[in-house]
Amino acid sequence: MQAKAVFLALIVATVSLSGCFGDQTDEVVAPEVESNSNGTFVTNKSGMAVNEPLLDMEFFFSDVGEDGPEPSLGITSSGCIFFIAMEKPMRSCDGGQSWENSADITQAPFTSDPYGWVDPVTDRIFNIHMMGLESTWIGWSDNDGESWLGNPHDSGTTPLNDHIKLATGPWTSSGYGAIGGITSTFYEQAVYFCYNKGVGIFCFTSYDGGATFETGGQIYGLASSNGGLHGAITTAPDGTVYVTPRVETPTVLVSKDNGFSWDEKTMGTDAKTPNPRKNSEVATDTESNAYHVWTGADQGIYMSRSIDSGESWEQESLRISPVEVISTTFPQTDAGDPGRIAITYLGSENASLLGTTDIDGNNWTGNGHYAPNGVHYHLYITYSLNALDENPTFHTMRVTQDPVQVGAMCLNSGDCRSDQGGSNRNLLDFNDLHIDREGRVYVAFADGCIAECASMDAPTPADSRASMGGMYYLAKGPSLFEENGELSPLV
């Protein structure tokens, strides 16, 4: 397939975003950016500014050229980037300068829910899609997408699934790992597949590289009593597996035996989560320390840490997002060496609209589900190189120059609403962030404000209904693997 030409832009730390578009009314859009931050922040564990220089970071933007709501991405050891844009596994092997759809006839012809994963050990690329609610079509490639295999009915032992997720990780010596150690000559990693059905979270383990899922079922305890929607699956170098349910009190489900049994760990009672809410995510570093990030009830991004492989979690939450960012959603994270992490999220700095009338006629508290028409959401990327310290520092950049979304976005698929321009569920449920073998950060997101919307002085929600796939990656700045030092541009 002919690769598509894409636009490549450089966003630098000194970029300045400004403009005043008048007072907020039903028709007039509020100032896009109200703080004096120039889009950069250096903050402490309370989200307050500290007198330290911003890390020297630059990010490249690449337009994937396809609709990409709730995108996922991964990078193989050869440097090829895979971006799952609906049913299309888009591939770029030239640093995001061009993209092509790498799928063949063995892959899902449509999708009701897309997801992708690149195994960081074997380079296997997974392209998985929910087919209605009946089953999941899982495809995989072991040669950078040059050819694919797939199973069009790959749902574990209990079909009728939704909200699908997949990941890989090391085998342990207990539970399903005892079997996995025997089968590892066929595929050396455990493959995990989770979905929700009704109010339950179901997770399965594959011994054959994701071709079939014969063991697993409903995760006991939390999933049977608190709802089934969940976030991405995360695995640690020591084989610990994490799944995050969507509940009021930030919670992590932890397995030490390759999914045979699960424990429930809670934290964040000081921060809570909003309602409606989106999923949280866990990152693990090279020594299996874990970092759980989520949107708190006050709409900031918070974190709890575990230094004993998920056995215990600190109960005092750390704020990652600056206090100037008063509304957030879609937090995603990954980590390299201990304390070196990156987080991305959508956020707004339109503090003057707090307390004004939201789209339901109530006083707006910062929840994006009800945001007034004048709120502008941008993509933010945060780094910390000392996230395990007692007093860590967070370096944040607003990387988008025009809004990603104008006005409210649907954060509850059964309760979408918008008073302008039709459905605001254009971005769907999540974005993605991963690092490559060098420790370079890549962020996948869907952009709702493109073309004319991006160039307007005062775009409205009706102008912001796209879902174009886009990617930022670190062109210059510190690797999340300390030994690699400062990274240079890919192209």
Average pLDDT over residues 285-297: 98
Residue type, 435: I
pLDDT band, residue 207 (cuts 50/70/90): very high
39 dihedral zone (left: phi>0; alpha: psi -120 to 50; beta): left
Residue in 37, 43, 99 with CA at minimum distance from that of residue 444: 99
H or E stretch at 113: strand 113-118
Say what the pLDDT of residue 153 is. 87
H or E stretch at 177: helix 176-183
The answer on pLDDT for 36 being more than 80 is no
Residue in 11, 66, 75, 120 with CA at minimum distance from that of residue 489: 11
The answer on pLDDT for 18 being more than 50 is no
Q: Tokens representing 43? A: 């903050």
User: Percent of the chain scored above 90 by pLDDT?
Assistant: 79
The answer on pLDDT for 29 being more than 70 is no
Say what the pLDDT of residue 421 is. 81
Residue in 2, 1, 3, 15 with CA at minimum distance from that of residue 96: 3
* Burial readout 475-489 (b: 16 or more C-beta within 10 A, e: otherwise): bbbbbbbeeeeebee
CA dist 344 and 18 (Å) reads 22
Q: Could you report the per-residue pLDDT of 142-181, keeping only the tens digit for each?
A: 999 999 999 998 877 777 788 899 999 999 999 999 999 8
Q: Could you report the per-residue pLDDT of 108-143, keeping only the tens digit for each?
A: 999 999 999 999 999 999 999 999 888 899 999 999
Q: Tokens representing 439? A: 């420790």
H or E stretch at 192: strand 190-197
Say what the pLDDT of residue 220 is. 54
Average pLDDT over residues 186-206: 91
Say what the pLDDT of residue 155 is. 79
Residue type, 126: F
Average pLDDT over residues 259-287: 95
pLDDT band, residue 226 (cuts 50/70/90): low
The residues that bridge with 127 in the sheet, in sequence order, are 116, 139
The answer on pLDDT for 9 being more than 50 is no
Q: Please report where in the chains the tokens 């690149």 appear, as a residue.
A: 118
Write down the number of H helices and E strands in the chain: 3, 33
Beta strands in 300-421 (DSSP E): 301-306, 318-319, 327-335, 341-348, 376-384, 394-398, 405-406
Average pLDDT over residues 345-370: 97
Query: Is the Cβ–Cβ distance between 372 and 356 less than 8 Å?
Result: yes
Q: Note if the bond before 276 is cis, omega within 30 degrees.
A: yes
Per the prediction, the chain carries an average pLDDT of: 90
User: Percent of the chain scored above 70 by pLDDT?
Assistant: 91
Q: Could you report the per-residue pLDDT of 392-446, keeping only the tens digit for each?
A: 999 999 999 999 999 999 998 878 877 688 889 999 999 999 999 999 999 999 9
The residues that bridge with 117 in the sheet, in sequence order, are 126
DSSP class of 29: P
pLDDT band, residue 20 (cuts 50/70/90): very low
CA dist 378 and 71 (Å) reads 16
pTM score of the predicted model: 0.93
CA dist 11 and 456 (Å) reads 19
Q: Could you report the per-residue pLDDT of 77-107, keeping only the tens digit for each?
A: 999 999 999 999 999 999 999 999 999 999 9
pLDDT band, residue 6 (cuts 50/70/90): very low
Lowest mean pLDDT among 26-35, 231-240, 317-326: 26-35
Non-local (6+) Cβ contacts of 423 within 8 A are: 410, 416, 465
Average pLDDT over residues 200-216: 93
The answer on pLDDT for 219 being more than 90 is no
CA dist 135 and 156 (Å) reads 9
